[in-house]
Amino acid sequence: MIRYVVKRLVILIPTLLVVAIIMFTLMDFVPGDPAVIALGSGNHTQEEIELKRESMGLNKPYITRLGEYIGNLVFHFDFGTSIVDGTQIKTAISDRFPNTLKIAIGSILVTIIVGLPLGIRTAVRANTWEDKIALFVTLLLDCMPSFWVGLLLVLLFALKLGWFPSSGVGGLKYFVLPVIANSLGGGLAGFTRQTRASMLEVIRSDLVTMARSKGLSEREVIYGHALPNALIPIITIVGMRFGQMLGGATIIEVIFSIPGLGPYLVNGIGSQDYTVVTGGIIFIAFAFAIIMLLTDLVYAFVDPRIKAQYVARNRKGGRKDE
Amino acid sequence: MSRVENVGAEKEVRREKRHGGHGKMGHHGGRGCKKSSESLKPGSLAYIWHSISHNKGAVMGMVLIVLIVLLSVLSPYLCRWGYAELDVLNAKSGPSLMHLLGCDELGRDLLSRVLYGARYTLYIGLAATVLSAVIGVTLGAIAGYFGGLVDSCVMRFLDVFQAFPQLILAMAFCAVFGSGLNNCVAALGLTGIAGFARLMRANILQIRDMEYIEASVSINCPTRKIITGHIIPNAVSPIIVEIAMSISRNGLASSSLSFLGLGVQPPYPEWGAMLAGARNHIRDCPHMVIVPGVFIVICVLSFNLIGDALRDALDPKLKK
């Protein structure tokens, strides 16, 4: 197990470093002089611009700036300051990320609570009318952009019925519509179909035939034998969906005017605030990577086949054929 | 060393399969073609065509797409109003005989805008898919065939792509390239590379160990010829399915980006951009929100149905 964790970390850390380097480099080559953007609109003399460049450290060679940026990032988890308004990006992110995370966690919970039983049921009753209706609905949901689902929800539940607020943050009820929109438009359908596929694969496998031939009741066969086996791949799917929903939350936040990472990034791109964009995107990559790492670890922990690969290798002195 | 690599490779294949499991169940209508398709050889063009043309969903999808393309191309001649023409007196009016789907806040006819806008979604969907398929398949084929160091390098490179949620990566590219139609295509095209490359690599890893490859290597067939003549034709069917799915994904993503103001910009009637404009008028004219969204769903649904049918047609093993 420990070997597996170490191996995953060994792959993860350089990847994140490269992500940071590439983001910094890309944003560095984007047309537009950060000093001019920092000075804001209006005419500026060449001297003013030069002074600003000097104070922002833009006159140092690229390599030095990259080194400083990565250094600050690794040792202080510091993303620098915004070009446009000079605020600390780290503070802004730590203020805003909890909102994004709340939406993502809420959406994945809704997705699991609704999608898992639905997927299992449709697999058990494959090709019945229930299954066909569920397939049709998920097919349709899969084609709806999450932001449109969000707008429709606002139209119905906020403006027509007035049950939930249409924007802003506050108590729990402010999160109801965003969470439903993100889950309906961003993965509930896919998750249900994947659960169904995974379950169906197990139901058609020999182990279920075996369980049936032992004379177990259908209930025991499905919940005692088929489900635990089907759940293993579903863990990975949950992890992937969670990562996706973190991305999807950004667009949902824009619709519901929730001060999360989404509006921060979109405004950053709009106002050419490159440090904000770089910082925000690197941060999301970090969060995403951690989710994926946790998923893989849980997966490895649950799936005896992966554990066995490492255990067996240790026992046999796996260096034999390396 | 080789063993570690192989373990990794097997895991990769398993993982791809798992991910590929997403649409496996899309075998609606597959039963219809059982009777006479027995006489056709699976994998032959005739079989594939037979299977698709007997799949109700796929036929509906193809009809809808042809309809959308025709209407979009002909919209300047068919529609009474130009997509940018203002009819200020009817601004914000709902559906009527004059304006079948109503007008937006400036009095532009929604029907002609929506029909004209189809070309953006279709163009971005197709162009971005072609871009990512060409680059991704090449990378994946190289990685899968050569293995070893080349493989590791390509895979680590792809890891960087997959370190972001898709939408965030597309946003990052948009920030770099700027907004606009072709920049949006480039952003989405680059975003999709990793998916194609991984799929292709997993295919190749399976095919690489087949006996016919060993045979061609032993008769000293040039590498280029093995790749183009043996491996690609055998690895191509999952790619074709992925292309159909990717078109619909990119159509969705392009509307998301335009909605955020990062793709096609508002005066042009891209569906996502129209929705972004409609958001401010959601209270007084809900039809502005509903119409473009319905068209997005129809368009994406059509490509998904075709993709599902292709999967059934190209991979008879999955059908049961």
Average pLDDT over residues A251-274: 87
Which has the closest alpha carbon to B251: B149, B91, B125, B145?
B125
Average pLDDT over residues B34-50: 64
At B275, the amino acid letter reads: L
Which range in A39-53, A199-213, A293-307 is most confidently predicted, on average pLDDT? Answer: A199-213
SS3 category, B202: helix
DSSP string, A99-168: HHHHHHHHHHHHHHHHHHHHHHHHHHTTTSHHHHHHHHHHHHHHTS-HHHHHHHHIIIIIIIS--S-SSS
Supply the mean pLDDT for chain A.
Answer: 82
Residue pLDDT, tens place only, B53-95: 888 888 888 899 899 888 888 877 877 777 777 776 777 777 7
Q: Which residue among A236, A285, A322 sits closest to B18, beta carbon to beta carbon?
A: A236
At B1, the amino acid letter reads: M
Q: Which residue among A19, A147, A193 sits closest to B25, beta carbon to beta carbon?
A: A193
- Interior/surface letters B22-54, b for 16+ CB within 10 angstroms, e for the rest: bbbbbbbbbeebeeebeebeeeeeebbebbbeb
Which has the closest alpha carbon to A260: A143, A133, A139, A168?
A168
Residue-level pLDDT at A109: 92
Inter-chain contact A19–B160, Cβ cutoff 8 Å? Answer: yes
Name the closest residue on chain B to residue A279, using Cα atoms.
B172
Band of the pLDDT at A311, cuts 50, 70, 90? low
The torsion defined by the Cα of A59, A60, A62 and A64, in degrees rounded to 10, comes to -160
- Interior/surface letters A236-264, b for 16+ CB within 10 angstroms, e for the rest: bbbbbbbbbbbbbbbbbbbbbebebbbbb
- Asked whether B318 and B244 are in contact (CB, 8 A), the reply is no
Residue pLDDT, tens place only, A222-235: 888 888 888 888 88
Supply the mean pLDDT for chain B.
Answer: 78
Q: Percentage of residues in chain A with pLDDT exceeding 70? A: 94
SS3 category, A1: coil
pTM: 0.81
The helix (run of H) or strand (run of E) holding residue A211 is: helix A206-213
Q: How far is A236 from B15, CA to CA, in rounded Å? A: 9
Please say if the pLDDT value at position B22 is more than 70: no
Inter-chain contact B171–A18, Cβ cutoff 8 Å? Answer: no
- Asked whether B310 and B52 are in contact (CB, 8 A), the reply is yes
Minimum mean pLDDT among A93-97, B135-139, B149-153, B203-207: which range?
B203-207
Band of the pLDDT at B131, cuts 50, 70, 90? very high
Residue-level pLDDT at A156: 86
Residue pLDDT, tens place only, B212-269: 888 888 898 888 888 777 777 778 878 888 898 899 889 889 999 888 888 888 778 8
CB proximity A18 to B under 8 Å: yes
Residues sharing a CB contact under 8 Å with residue A98, sequence separation 6 or more, in sequence order: none
Which has the closest alpha carbon to A137: A115, A113, A120, A158?
A115
| Nearest-neighbour CA in chain A from B229: distance (Å) | 33
Residue B75, φ and ψ in degrees, nearest 5: -55, -35
Band of the pLDDT at B112, cuts 50, 70, 90? confident
Average pLDDT over residues B130-148: 87
Residue-level pLDDT at B202: 86
Band of the pLDDT at A319, cuts 50, 70, 90? very low
Inter-chain contact B301–A269, Cβ cutoff 8 Å? Answer: no
Q: Percentage of residues in chain A with pLDDT exceeding 90? A: 3
Minimum mean pLDDT among B6-15, B119-128, B233-242: which range?
B6-15
| Chain A with chain B: Cβ pairs closer than 8 A | 159
Inter-chain contact A145–B262, Cβ cutoff 8 Å? Answer: no
Residue-level pLDDT at B128: 93
- Asked whether A90 and A73 are in contact (CB, 8 A), the reply is no
Find chain A residues with C-beta within 8 A of B172's C-beta. Answer: 23, 26, 277, 281
Which has the closest alpha carbon to B263: B188, B191, B181?
B181
CATH number of this structure's domain A97-270: 1.10.3720.10
Residue A233: Cβ-neighbour burial (10 angstroms; 0-12, 13-18, 19+): buried
| Domain parsing of chain B, residue ranges | 2-39, 64-318
Please say if the pLDDT value at position B147 is more than 90: no
At A306, the amino acid letter reads: I
- Would you give the DSSP letter of residue B180? S
| Domain parsing of chain A, residue ranges | 2-76, 97-270
What is the number of helices (H) and of strands (E) in chain B?
A: 14, 0
CB proximity B27 to A under 8 Å: no
SS3 category, B60: helix
Residues sharing a CB contact under 8 Å with residue B147, sequence separation 6 or more, in sequence order: B5, B208
Asked whether the CA dihedral B75, B80, B86, B87 is positive or negative, the reply is: negative
Residue A164, φ and ψ in degrees, nearest 5: -130, 150
CB proximity A156 to B under 8 Å: no
Superfamily of domain B64-318: MetI-like (1.10.3720.10)
Minimum mean pLDDT among A166-175, A192-201, A257-266, B251-260: which range?
A166-175
